[in-house]
Amino acid sequence: MKKINLFFTVLFALIVMQNGFAQTSFRGFANTQFDQPLSGKDLNGAPQKNAFGIGQYDNYVTSQLSDRFSFLGEVVFEYDGKTARLDVERVIIKYEWNNAFNVQMGKFHTPLGYWNNAYHHGELLQPTMARPFAVKFEDEGGVMAVHTTGLSITGDNIGKLNFGYDVMVGNGIGSSPVWDNNNSKSVTMNFRIEPIEGIKLGASFYNDFVTANSVTPFREDTVKVGTNQNIFNGYLVIKKSNLEVISEYYKINNKNAMMGTTSHDAFFAYAGYTINKVTPYVQFDYMKYDTKDFMYLNNNKNLTTIGFRYELAPLAVFKAGYRFGNTQLGGDYNGVQAQIAWGF
């Protein structure tokens, strides 16, 4: 570990020595919100309560170290229940070879699907108040490794179809950003085209072998037997004039000697139409678990949000919406939420 740190320190120093001081920018995001459940129960069966809350306090830095090397770092302060904690969400060093081939190393958002790479921890940039179930963060009830530490190659805008790709290998489930508990690396591939300006079609795939007794980030529980995970994803994104549509489907297959193959489905769709400073939108979010699987807390969900975004300032938005549907453990749910998100 010390050797790796020394390597990166020397590499950074060499780049800076060669090119003088880097062009560096520090920015951040924050948000605050209010939830008013009108019906629905929490996981203990008690009625849900209204609450104010602060969201993630996100700080990020981008730095152009040289003509070809750049750095992006993102650190988030957040509350885990009652305790505040600090999470290093992304640390990426990138080498730009040309438009079609770039190499990156560090901790990333796993290049699965569209949403997980378009929207990170700043709620300002995200069109809705919350991330869809499929791409929720691992420690917030997520179902996939949305962060991965490893090496990736990426390229965009290739040929007449505007082909783009990401191929990544990294520490898989059961690992941390500084070590892995097995030699089997996760593999992620994402391929996309934009044949017509504003219309993007893509597909992605993830594979990892989870070693027996690995602690998963999803339930903070151990996987009893070695499990092979395959995730298949398809997405369609339309951004034409004032219209924005994002829809994604995920199929998560886990295979092991104890359970055989279990299969989970997730789908979400978002559509918004901007009229001056107001964007009314609708979001549909669906998650269906295979009850045999022990990797997740099975809680099928089916929720729809009808809401709007209002631009308070160039880097501040107010979002509000009415959410309704049902969850397996909480029963029928409906409630209203409001959020102010900003960048600085």
Partner 1 sequence: MKRNIFLKFSLIVALISSLMSFAPAGGLSVVINGSVPNKDMTMVELKAFMKGTKTRWSDNSKVNLVFVNPTSSVGNQVAKAVFGTSGSEMNKALLALAFQGKISAPKFFDSEEEVAKYVKNTPGTIGIVGTDATSGATKAKINGADSF
The residues of the shown chain that bind partner 1, judged by CB under 8 A, are 23, 25, 27, 60, 62, 64, 67-68, 70, 72, 92, 94, 96, 98-99, 104, 117-120, 122, 124-125, 156-157, 162, 164, 197-198, 240-241, 274, 276, 311, 314-315, 343
Number of helices and strands (H, E) in the chain? 2, 19
> Percent helix, strand and coil across the chain, each rounded to 5?
10, 60, 30
> 46 vs 275, which CB is nearer to partner 1?
275
How far, CA to CA in Å, does 150 sit from each of 41, 113, 188, 282? 39, 18, 11, 35
User: How many angstroms separate the CA atoms of 62 and 56, rounded?
Assistant: 19
> 295 vs 341, which CB is nearer to partner 1?
341
User: How many angstroms separate the CA atoms of 304 and 322, rounded?
Assistant: 8
Shortest distance in whole angstroms from residue 296 CB to partner 1 = 28
User: How many angstroms separate the CA atoms of 279 and 282, rounded?
Assistant: 10
Q: Are 198 and 106 in contact (CB under 8 A)?
A: no
> 20 vs 45, which CB is nearer to partner 1?
20
Q: Are 65 and 12 in contact (CB under 8 A)?
A: yes
Shortest distance in whole angstroms from residue 92 CB to partner 1 = 6
Structure tokens at 327: 């969850």
Q: Which residues lie below 8 Å from residue 257, measured CB to CB, with a gap of 6+?
A: 225, 226
> 173 vs 317, which CB is nearer to partner 1?
317
Closest CA to 56 of 73, 35, 33: 33
User: How many angstroms separate the CA atoms of 142 and 128, rounded?
Assistant: 17
How far, CA to CA in Å, does 130 sit from each of 36, 235, 269, 284? 15, 19, 13, 12
Q: Are 89 and 222 in contact (CB under 8 A)?
A: no
> 32 vs 64, which CB is nearer to partner 1?
64
User: How many angstroms separate the CA atoms of 66 and 47, rounded?
Assistant: 55
Shortest distance in whole angstroms from residue 209 CB to partner 1 = 28
Shortest distance in whole angstroms from residue 6 CB to partner 1 = 25
> 70 vs 216, which CB is nearer to partner 1?
70
Shortest distance in whole angstroms from residue 252 CB to partner 1 = 24
Shortest distance in whole angstroms from residue 179 CB to partner 1 = 24
Shortest distance in whole angstroms from residue 165 CB to partner 1 = 13
Shortest distance in whole angstroms from residue 10 CB to partner 1 = 23
> 129 vs 223, which CB is nearer to partner 1?
129
Give me the torsion for CA of 76, 246, 36, 83, rounded to 10°.
-20
In the 8-state DSSP scheme, what is residue 122?
-
3-state secondary structure of 147: strand
Structure tokens at 78: 């957040």
Shortest distance in whole angstroms from residue 324 CB to partner 1 = 29
